[in-house]
Every structure is written in structure tokens, then in C-alpha cells.
Amino acid sequence: MKKGKKIFKFLIIIIFLLFIARGGVYVYAKITPAPVINRANNLTLYDNNKKVFFQGSGSKKWISLNKMSKYIKDATIAAEDKNFYKHHGFDYLRIIKASITNVSNKSVEQGASTITQQYAKNLFLNFDKTWQRKWKEMWYTIELEAHYSKREILEGYLNTINYGHGVYGIENASRFYFNKSASDLTLAEATMLIGIPKAPSIYSPLINKEKAKERQLIILNSMVKNKMITRKEKKEAYNTDLIYYGKKESEELSTVMYYYDAVLDELKTISSIPKSYSDSKGLKIYTYLDRNSQINLEESIKKEIPDSSKIQTSVVMMKPNSGRIIALVGGRDYNKSEYNRATSAKRQVGSTMKPYLYYAALENGFTPSTTFTSEKTTFTFNNNKDYAPNNYNNIYGNKPISMATAIAYSENIYAVKTHVFLGSEALIDVAKRVGINEELEDITSLPLGTEEINIIDMAKGYSAFANLGNKVSPHLIKKVVDGNGKILYEDKHKGVVVLNKSLCFILNNLLTSTYDSNYIDYNYPTAINLENKLTHKYALKSGTTDTDNWYIGYNKDIITAVWVGYDDNKKLKKTEYKYGQNIWLNSVETYEKGKTNEWYKIPNNVLGVLVEPISGRPAIETDKKKKLVYFIKGTEPEGELITTFEEKLNRDLVKAS
């Protein structure tokens, strides 16, 4: 009994001390300078011409609380923080209840953040789940409550919160979803909007109407419970068939928000940018976005892919010498899907993996005229396991063909023979050197692109060929300036030499064979239909699997990588393989329009030789087709071209069937 009284007295003392400490904290917060909420976390993004393409919480569409629809204010309080006007930033009872529920269910099912806490988080903080961030969030919450009225906090919260699709603030959201001001929203419209910020990618009615209606009903029920509306009003609002507008006032681009998201991802990796923006008074972020290229990409995608199709795409346009990303698409329409496939997705790359292999081959003594026999082949290894790859459509020359021909046709048999002869470490080493960070599996099918890689990484890898040997770091940000005009970051990316300049030159020329009619023989080059459509010279490689289609092409000026496929890995139809090629063609040709058709200068140690294209032997007068192919001096072909490579491979590693 005495022990119980002592514990009770101890708890009373602790609570008393906590109240004193709490009071002291609020007094201290009161005498500190008020946080500047009208400029904090105001992100303004500029394109490469210094024109604004995104402005965050500094948007001119700020609406005062007294002009907002009553339903907006009531629905927000009911849904997010029913004790908003009673607490001083923290709802302790709610915190205790949520903690008990989460502990009991062994999962985080309930949150206890108040509107003030959420506003503090949106204004000042990044969203890393660390204790340091939590403590900062608590302090900013106290500062807001100490310096601003409840009306000011609620008004600021509603004007800065994310409503999905790159839309921030209730006025912008109202105009985007319903084409009207927030002052004119009905109960049905207001409760639909207020449900979105909890998880915009889930509760946006433009993405998932069913989930959005479920969330709306929860909010309506909360309003009834808090006696803000009647059951009849709830029923009428829930049964209202809402019509969605789904457009921004300046609907110039629906894909530019993918670029914006990628910029924010990059911003988090720059150490000189404060993790909390509270002292920066907003940030001005200057990017390398080429608005014309972004517009053209979007128009090309809309033109090529039918509206009714669920197929998706990602595209990256990058300057190969610097790694500057000038245009980026992470999906067909950000308003319908915010998932950024350019930054987040990894897909099977198909035959776009082969250039890494063929660079490794050139490095290890192969030349463009090195031959292997194109024939149905089964590879038998020491563990008695067989591997029998096929060429596309099972087309084989049944004769020796040159590396140049293998690239033109994207020959799988030649690629696997090369891979087996070199050893898997050769391909993996080149891929790592140029910046492919994936842990590539040591498998025989690796050069056929069975591994999944991100599109930006693939563009980075190819850029080392395009710039003649330098690994670059893809990036979108040129400069970051804070609200006081102080430069917080400036791009100083430099490339690192990882490949041989002369071998890159040879490979780049080999990759033009993919649309060269000189290589028409028992098969056709993979992009032969582009030969008469291209006004400029490009190195080009396609990649095709059952579920993925790639086109990556470049010259010294620009590299463009295109992926097309379904998010659920559904198989592509034959007619759908043309989308990627057409998007790539339209993008690069529009970008290069009016520019000089420049190609790489021949290195001093490289020699051009006229060869018969398919066999790779030196051309003779009677040959119907002759092709100028480049070699390191001293390795050019002379006479018979059947090399010892295949003889060794047949003797040690292969059983032809």
C-alpha cells in the first residue's frame, strides 16, 4: 500500500515537472525569432533558359482561410485533427491511443500527427525517418504554435500540402480537379480533396476512384461524428457523381513532373544543401531541362502510343560529354501515374547489353572482321549442363560472319560464343567501368540482356562510348541558390577516363551497321527501316525481350535511351515493338534538326579498310558490296579471315548440333 502511494506521488511529481518543462519550452520558443513560413521550403525550379517550370509553396494561388469553402475547413479538422483548436501542437491523448493500438497490433496502423506537426514537416523538413528529424519536427511545431494563430497555421497548411499530380495547395487542387476556386467547393468535392494528401498516389480519384471514395466516406463519417454535417448530407455527398477536370491552368507538360521528382531525388544527395530548409528561405534550383526536348518527347509518346493502351515508357536524353540530363520521362502521364520509371524501374535490357561485350572483345584482340559461325549451337560446359540460345526468328547464316555483321543482326549465337571465349569477367568488368552498378550475375546469357538495369544507368554506360572513353555522372541540377542569394551548390561534374578512345571510335562505327543496307544478306539489320529516315549519323542498338523493348542511340552531341513495356511484365504484341523505335527517332531527329551532321574524327592509330561486309575479309573488285570498316593499325584483315578463335572454342567449349 505504501509502495503504491510512493509510485503515485512520484508520477504526480514527474507530470508536474513535465508541465513546467513544457511551459518553459513554449516561453523559450516565444522569445526566439518567428519562423518565416511564407518563404520557407519554397522551391522554384528553372530550365536551361532560366525560365520557371515549377514553383512550390510560393505559388501565387494562395487563398485566405476566410475565402475557403466551410466544408474544406471542417473536413480537414474532422479528418486530420479534431482537437486542433484545443491543443498546443501535440495531441497527447491521441499519441497514447495510437501507441497502444500500434503496439497491440505490432504494426503502424494509426498516426497521431496534428495539423501543426504536419505543417512543420511540410515547411521545413526532409522526410528521412530519423530521430534527429523527429526532434526538429517537434521544435518547429512548438515554434509555429508559439508565434502563429490557429487560423494562420490552418491556412498555411491547406495552402502548402501536396494533393498529388504535382499540385500543391487547396486552391491549385480545386482548380486542377474541379476547375473552380476552393471558395466554391461543395461538400462532396471538399471531402474528396481532403482525402488525397494522406497518400496522393493511392487516394487521387484520377488514379483510383474506388480507394478515393473509401477515403471520402471515412471523412464524411468523421464529420457526422463531430456534428459538422447531418447523415442526410453525408449520404447526398457520398452519392454525388463527381466530374473531374484533371488539368492545370498552364497544361504545357504532363511529364515535366517526372523531371521535377528526379531533381528532388538528386537534391537529397547534395551534401551542401541543408537537410532542413528552415534557414534557406526557399531554394532556387537551376536545372539542365531543355523544355523543347521535353515537349517533343511528350508529343512523340502521345502520337505513337494509343490512348487506350496500358503500355508504359521511360525516356532519358543526356549530353554524353557531361552527363547533363536535358529531358526525362518516367511514364506516359504524370497525372495518371506518378511512378517514375526512369529513376526507379529496372528492366531486362535485351541486346542493348551487347555493346559492353563487344568493347571487351575489341580490348581482348578481336577486330570488326573477327568471325564466328552463325549456326544453331548448343554450348556444353564442364558440369554437363547445356545452353542452347536461339537467334531472333531462328535465322542463321550457317557460315562465318564478322563482328560487324553480328552487331547489325544482333546475333545471339555470335554474342554467346564471344562471351564464352572471353570469359564472363570481361563483360562484367567493362559494364562496371562505365558505371553499371548492378551486381551482374555470372551467367552465359548475360550478353543477351537477361539482367535488369535502370535506364539512366544504361544511358550512363553508353555515354562512355559516345564521349570516347569517359565515365560521367548523370545529373539534372546546374546550381542551387537560397533565398538570400547564396550559392549552395554549383555543378562541377567531370568525367573519368575508363575506356580506350580508339576502340570506342571503332565500336561507335560498328553500331551504325544496325541500319546499313550493306549488311543485307541472309538477314536484315535490326533497324534497317530507319536508313532513309535518319538525317544524321548515330550509333544505335536495340534490345528486345518478350516484355521489354529498348532503343539506345547516340552521337557526340546527344544520347537518347527509350524503354517501352508493361508495368506488370505483360508480353508485348508484335505491333507494340515499333513504339520505342519511333519515339527514339522523333526525339533525336527533332533535337538534331538544323545542326551539322558531325561524326567522330578518326584517331591517328586507326585505319579504314574496305571489306566485304558479311565475311569481313578485304574487299575485291568482284564484290557487289563493299564497306569501309575501321581497325587499329596493324590489326586490319589480310587474306583468309577464319581465325583461331572459333577453332579454340569448338575444341574446348562447344558442341555444334
The tens digit of pLDDT for each residue in 405-438 reads: 999 999 999 999 999 999 989 999 999 999 999 9
CATH of the domain at 358: 3.40.710.10
Mean pLDDT of all residues in 484-512: 96
Could you say which of 231, 251, 271 is where a domain stops?
A: 251
Could you say which of 204, 232, 251 is where a domain stops?
A: 251
User: How do residues 232-251 score in pLDDT, each as one tens digit?
Assistant: 999 999 999 999 988 765 55
* 356/425 Cα distance (integer angstroms): 12
Instruction: Please tell me which residue, 386 or 127, carries the higher pLDDT value.
Output: 386
3-state SS assignment for residue 554: strand
Residue 642: predicted pLDDT: 43
Q: Which of 58-62, 324-328, 382-386, 390-394 has the lowest mean pLDDT?
A: 58-62
Instruction: Please tell me which residue, 614 or 336, carries the higher pLDDT value.
Output: 614
- pLDDT of 362 above 90: yes
- pLDDT of 606 above 90: yes
Catalytic site residue from 69, 174, 351, 587: 351
Please check whether residues 331 and 232 belong to one and the same domain.
Answer: no
Please check whether residues 85 and 16 belong to one and the same domain.
Answer: no
Please check whether residues 25 and 128 belong to one and the same domain.
Answer: no
* 370/375 Cα distance (integer angstroms): 16
Residue 537: predicted pLDDT: 97
Examine residue 121 and state whether it is found in any structural domain, yes or no: yes
Closest by CA to 409, choosing from 575, 548, 521, is: 521
Please check whether residues 182 and 245 belong to one and the same domain.
Answer: yes
Q: How many CB atoms lie within 10 A of CB 302?
A: 14
pLDDT band at 499 (very low <50, low <70, confident <90, very high): very high
User: How do residues 280-313 score in pLDDT, each as one tens digit?
Assistant: 457 899 999 999 999 999 999 999 999 999 999 9
User: How do residues 260-281 score in pLDDT, each as one tens digit?
Assistant: 999 999 998 998 887 655 444 5
- pLDDT of 585 above 60: yes
- pLDDT of 81 above 90: no
Sign of the torsion angle spanned by Cα atoms 54, 60, 64, 68? negative
Please check whether residues 518 and 597 belong to one and the same domain.
Answer: yes
Residue 483: predicted pLDDT: 79
Is 80 one of the annotated active-site residues of the chain?
Answer: yes
Which cell is 335 given? 497525372
Residue 282: predicted pLDDT: 74
User: How do residues 55-70 score in pLDDT, each as one tens digit?
Assistant: 765 445 789 999 999 9
Residue 356: predicted pLDDT: 98
Q: Which of 252-266, 507-521, 529-543 has the lowest mean pLDDT?
A: 252-266
Mean pLDDT of all residues in 92-100: 61
User: How do residues 123-136 score in pLDDT, each as one tens digit?
Assistant: 765 545 555 666 67
Residue 550: predicted pLDDT: 98
Whole domain around residue 81: which residue ranges? 62-251
Is 189 one of the annotated active-site residues of the chain?
Answer: no
User: What DSSP element (H or E) covers 548?
Assistant: strand 548-554
Look up residue 394 and give its DSSP letter: G
Burial bucket for residue 544 (CB in 10 Å: 0-12, 13-18, 19+):
buried
Could you tell me whether strands 43-46 and 283-287 are parallel, antiparallel, or unpaired per DSSP bridges? parallel
Question: How far is C-alpha 277 from the chain's CA centre?
Answer: 24
Please check whether residues 333 and 240 belong to one and the same domain.
Answer: no
Please check whether residues 373 and 454 belong to one and the same domain.
Answer: yes
Examine residue 616 and state whether it is found in any structural domain, yes or no: yes
Examine residue 274 and state whether it is found in any structural domain, yes or no: no
Could you say which of 216, 232, 251 is where a domain stops?
A: 251
Residues paired with 55 in a beta bridge: 44
Per the CB < 8 A criterion, the answer to whether 171 and 62 are in contact is yes
Examine residue 313 and state whether it is found in any structural domain, yes or no: no
* 185/193 Cα distance (integer angstroms): 10
Residue 275: predicted pLDDT: 61
Please check whether residues 331 and 208 belong to one and the same domain.
Answer: no
Please check whether residues 21 and 126 belong to one and the same domain.
Answer: no
Residue 115: predicted pLDDT: 86
Three-class HEC string of 154-196: HHHHHHHCECCCCCECHHHHHHHHHCCCHHHCCHHHHHHHHCC
Range list of β-strands (E), 357-442:
371-374, 377-380, 386-387, 399-402
Please check whether residues 27 and 69 belong to one and the same domain.
Answer: no
| % of the chain surpassing 90 pLDDT | 67
Residue 279: predicted pLDDT: 44
pLDDT band at 339 (very low <50, low <70, confident <90, very high): very high
Mean pLDDT of all residues in 82-91: 79
Please check whether residues 25 and 148 belong to one and the same domain.
Answer: no
Catalytic site residue from 57, 69, 80, 222: 80
Arithmetic mean of pLDDT over the chain: 87
Total tally of structural domains belonging to the chain: 3
Residue 110: predicted pLDDT: 46
Examine residue 191 and state whether it is found in any structural domain, yes or no: yes
Examine residue 410 and state whether it is found in any structural domain, yes or no: yes
- pLDDT of 154 above 60: yes
CATH of the domain at 68: 1.10.3810.10
pLDDT band at 17 (very low <50, low <70, confident <90, very high): very low
Examine residue 590 and state whether it is found in any structural domain, yes or no: yes
Please check whether residues 72 and 18 belong to one and the same domain.
Answer: no
Residue 112: predicted pLDDT: 60
Residue 116: predicted pLDDT: 84
Examine residue 174 and state whether it is found in any structural domain, yes or no: yes
- pLDDT of 315 above 90: yes
